[in-house]
Amino acid sequence: MSNQQLHDLDLYAWANEQAALLRSGRLAEADIEHIAEEIESTGSSEKREPVKWLRVLLLHLLEWQFQPTRRGASWEGTIANTRDELDDHLRNNPCLKSWIPDGLEAAYRRAAIDATTDTGFKRSTFPQTCPWTYDEIIDPDFWPETA
């Protein structure tokens, strides 16, 4: 089976085969073009990951602030775990920290839409822009006050 066919049919098998070829120094047999594409794709996925965690975190912080009667240990746990996931990801990919301001804006925009759906509140209920700094959002002692 050709590199192209294996890449298209079974990405995991293709990746393992390519890794073995690279490790054994058989570069002429390696699928260099697809390897480069997959590395770029992995980088893009890593860049999107903090926005996903921020979106979840911001959604729960909005719900915490705007639905105080629903606060509980489950929400606290979700917020704490999401903070940890985000922190772990950025610790493993420190160059992504510089992208946080742009990512925060995008994540908040989506989180506010999600909060509208989850709470049934109008979009205008929530601030147009993120009301918290990144340092507040990630701080384990930060809990937004009731709106």
pLDDT given for residue 116 in this prediction: 97
pLDDT given for residue 147 in this prediction: 63
pLDDT given for residue 60 in this prediction: 96
pLDDT given for residue 15 in this prediction: 83
pLDDT given for residue 11 in this prediction: 79
**Percent of the chain at pLDDT above 90?**
61
pLDDT given for residue 127 in this prediction: 97
Distance CA 146, CA 144 (A): 7
Instruction: State the burial class of residue 103 (Cβ atoms within 10 Å of its Cβ: 0-12, 13-18, 19+).
Output: buried
Q: What is the pLDDT of residues 58-78, one digit of tens each?
A: 999 999 999 999 999 999 999
Q: Give the number of other CB atoms < 10 A from CB of residue 130.
A: 21
pLDDT given for residue 85 in this prediction: 94
Instruction: State the burial class of residue 98 (Cβ atoms within 10 Å of its Cβ: 0-12, 13-18, 19+).
Output: exposed
The residue ranges of the chain whose pLDDT is under 50 are none
pLDDT given for residue 44 in this prediction: 73
